[in-house]
Every structure is written in structure tokens, then in C-alpha cells.
A and B are shown apart, each in its own frame.
Chain A
């Protein structure tokens, strides 16, 4: 199929429909409004349904219901809207239902601003909901990767019966880039015999619930969830290693900032300074094993983020004391400039050499 030029939000919505999504429930918020706009226009053409809910809380609970009936379903929002959905996400994870949640994040805390930010790293990877649950988090850096990961997210969500989060930001949502809708690898999926799609008088009703009043039963349930999350850690980690050979510093960055870092790498290589990039594609499970591939030439790690440093903890856990970890970030909707990152790299090298 030929490449087409699309806006990020539209590409994500189109990919969802190609990935089998037939139901979308959402509530408007900048900078992701083109997603519901596209869904409102296109879902009915494929026999699906779009509902603009009265609130984010309503939208996520509609997702809960549709997922419970076995449908492929998605919601999207931006930072404060995702915060409002957290209760529902915890319930969906507890009830073990598949769904895809897109977060085109903006600056916070509070109402914050509308420019791109990565200040939702904690929210996406740790979750604002309660209890022992996890969500798989994909952080695409290009629109092609967004399209591929959104399509795959529905397979992965069904495979694990768990919510999958797509973590983008205002830049990914608003920019245009050519995309191609390719076939994605299909997983072997068991039938959704748990779905509440009508007994037709032939079986006992299925019940979807996250309530376990007996602590022994709830503990058993939670350990079973844990075992599932461990399988995700084992099998679903994704990352990109770029330009690490002979490098002195590895910059760890994801999504939008990883693209700025690639500019930095190319500028510095002209000056004879070799810098590599470790780009987590899954923010959870975090690509800890990628750190074992870091070559001996590396003297330090540098985290570059559009936040005041939310990924540093994960980097330090993965680094396990093997390298010093430095940080450079901008916040509130500001994007780091190549010049500022270059200055930080040089400052670290002056100290390390």
C-alpha cells in the first residue's frame, strides 16, 4: 500500500480501526481532538459506534462495558483527562479486560497547558489507579511507529486481557508524516468465552467483576495477575539502540525527545564526539535488559525528557550503579533544543575525561 500523509491523531485513529477497533468512547480535550473527530466520522462506516460521553469517567466506564462484551474498544484523551480515567483503568485491569487507551499528553500538573509534554511518565507507567495492576505502555517516536503500535496494541490487549496505553504527546498528535498501513503480526488468540455477549439460552451467564470480598481469593487473583505481568516483562519489552559503537555517553530518551536526540547525535558526530541513544519503546515493561548491551566505552548515561525527570528512577534501577546518571529536561510544554543537550553532553564529558 502506498504511503499517505496524515496528521498523527488521525493516523492513530485510522490505525485503531484497521486494528479492529469498532467502539470508541471519549470526551474532547486538546491536543487529541482529531482522534474522536475521525472516529465520529469513520466508525459508523465500518459498522462500529462512536459515543461522545458526558465525561471522561463515563467514557472509560463505557469502554469497560464494551470490552466486557468482547468488542475491540478504545478511548483517547490528554493528561488531565487520563487522570480522570484512572479509576476505570484499575477496574478494567482488575476485571481482566482488553482495551486500548491513547494519551496524547500535554503539560501539567492540574489543567496545565496544551503543548507537548512527557510529564505523564509516572501516570502512564505507574498508573493513578489503585491496587496491584500494571498496564503495558507503548511510546512511539514517529507516526509510522504510532500506526504500527496502535494496530498491534489491540492484539496485545486481547492476548493478555489487559489495558494497553499508547503514550504520545502533542507533537506526535499534531504533526504530519507519511504513513503506511502494513499487516501486523497476528497473535494466536483464545476465544473470548468470558464475554457477556448473551447466553442464547445455552450457557450460564458470564459475570464480569473486579470485586473479591474474600481476601484469600483476592490475593490469589492478584498473584495470578502478577504472573501475567511477569510474562509481559519477559516477552513484550521493546527498545531501539542507536549509534552505540565507540560512544562515550548514552542518552536515554523516548518519543518526541528521542527525535531531538538523534539530531544531537548527528551534530556531535561531526565534531568527533560519539553519543548513542537508548530509546525505550515500551515504557512499561521498562527495557532493563537493553542496559546490558551498553558497550564498555560508555562513561555515563544522560536522561533527556520533557519533564523534570520522571524516567530517572527507571534508568537508575536498570543501570544498577554501573554508570553515573545525568539529567537534562524541559517542562510545561517546552521541548529541549539540540544546542542545550549538546552543552549538557559536553559538560558531562569535561567532568568524566
Chain B
């Protein structure tokens, strides 16, 4: 088992933390994991992406050249990264912000209106957790509980009150792709 996930969007959409949570959850489950961010003279609103690898074997290079999954939180990310997907790879598209179809036809695309669902939950910042919920539902790569454990570690006791919102966001994301 090896999953190579590219999470991409604009700065502030939580693509880095989405990747970190997944990495953390993988580590909690005893998997070999790496997280590699793009870094550069970027700021809120600029482009951001991270490469996450979860594997049963030690991870050689943390750089992804062929992804098993691409998360596109906005249109530039879809355009830039869809060609990195392997055949039959998973393409998760934030359809709240992306109004066009991928050019690839040999991949499994899912459309998740993450911003709208998150807004309904009361916090648009949870859009990343909606997509993460969808990803975990589709791949079963880690347990939902491991993500929640990771969240608790990252948030710490002062932000415990944010856990229910995030849990709900994960569940909504999972429900959306179950229906597709």
C-alpha cells in the first residue's frame, strides 16, 4: 500500500493543514509518512500545495512525480496538477470554486461543493475537512478516529471546542462521495 497525495489550492484554504492531518493520522497508525510543502515567496491568496506520502514501506523520496490522488481546491490547482495523476487516480475537485471539468478522462473525478457545505455548517474554513472526509471515505487509508486524534494533538486543549465542527465536516464530506 502506498498513497501519494497532492493537496493544492490557494493560501488560506487549509491545504497544508489538510495534508499535515493526514500525515499525522498515518503516523498514529504506524505507517511511514512524509509531508513536503511547496515553499516560496507566497502569501495568503497565492498558490500552495503539499505532497503527502503514506506507505507500509519506508518512504524513499518525499517528492511526488505520479500521484494516486490530487485534491484541487481551486481552478489553477486542477489545471496545474491533474496531469500528475496516475491512470485511474483519484481527483477530488472543490466544485464550489471550480466550475469546469478536468481534461483527463482516465481518472476518477469526484465533485464536492466543499465551501457551500462548510458554510452550511457555520464555518467556511472547514472546507478542507469536507474534502479530507471525502478522501478518507474513498480510500479508507486511515480511520476517521485517527484524524480526530491528530486534530486533538494539533489543536491542543484550548481549541477542543472546534473538534465537533471538524468531525461534522469530515462526516459530511464522506456522505457526499458515498452518494456519487
- Residues on A facing B (Cβ under 8 Å): 3, 5, 30-31, 114-115, 170-171, 174-178, 256, 259-260, 262-263, 266, 335, 337-339
Q: Given contacts A177-B35, A256-B61, could you give 10 more A-B pairs where the C-beta distance is less than 8 Å?
A: A5-B33, A5-B35, A31-B39, A171-B63, A174-B39, A175-B36, A175-B37, A177-B34, A177-B62, A266-B60
> For B23, what are the chain A residues with a Cβ–Cβ distance below 8 Å?
5, 176
Interface set of B (CB-CB < 8 Å, partner A):
20, 23-24, 27, 33-37, 39-41, 59-63, 65
Cross-chain contact of A260 among B40, B41, B63 (Cβ < 8 A): B63
Q: Are B39 and A170 in contact (CB under 8 A)?
A: yes
Q: Report yes or no: B33 in contact with A259, Cβ–Cβ below 8 A.
A: no
A3–B26 CA distance with the chains assembled, in angstroms: 12
Closest 5 CB pairs of A and B: A262-B60, A176-B35, A259-B61, A260-B61, A175-B36
A178 and B61 in contact (CB under 8 A), knowing A5-B23, A31-B39, A170-B39?
no
- Please, which residues of chain B bring their CB within 8 A of the CB of A266? 60
- The interface residues of chain A lying within 8 Å CB-to-CB of B37 are 174-175
B142: min CB distance to chain A, Å: 13
Q: Which residues of A contact B59 (CB under 8 A)?
A: 177
- Within the complex, which residue of B27, B39, B63 is in contact with A178, where a contact is CB–CB below 8 Å? B27
- CB pair A174–B24 under 8 Å, yes or no, is no
Contacts A175-B36, A176-B35: A259 and B62 contacting too (C-beta < 8 A)?
A: yes
Given contacts A174-B37, A175-B35, contact A5 B24 (CB under 8 A): yes
Contact A171 B36 (CB under 8 A): yes
Query: Are B40 and A171 touching (Cβ within 8 A)?
Result: no
Give the distance in Å from the alpha carbon of A26 to the alpha carbon of B101 in the complex.
49
Which residue on chain B has the smallest CB distance to residue A333?
B40
Contact (A5, B27) CB under 8 Å given A260-B63, A263-B61: yes
A–B pairs, 10, beta carbons within 8 Å = A5-B20, A5-B23, A171-B62, A176-B23, A176-B35, A177-B35, A260-B60, A260-B63, A262-B61, A266-B60
* A270 CB → nearest B CB, Å: 14
CA distance A115 to B36 in the complex (A): 13
Alpha-carbon distance between A223 and B15 when the two chains are bound, in angstroms: 56
Interfacial chain A residues near B39, Cβ < 8 Å = 30-31, 114, 170, 174
Which of B20, B39, B65 neighbours the largest number of chain A CB atoms within 10 Å of its CB?
B39
Asked if B36 and A178 sit within 8 Å, CB to CB, the answer is no
Please report the C-alpha to C-alpha distance between residue A181 and residue B3 in the assembled complex, in whole angstroms.
Answer: 27
- Given A5-B23, A5-B27, A178-B27, answer yes or no on A263-B36 (Cβ-Cβ < 8 Å): no
- The complex places the Cα of A262 from the Cα of B23 at a distance, in Å, of 21
A175 touches B24 (CB 8 A): no
Residues from chain A with Cβ under 8 Å of B33 in the complex: 5, 177-178
State the CA gap A260–B64 with chains docked (Å). 10
A335 to B61, CA, bound (A): 11
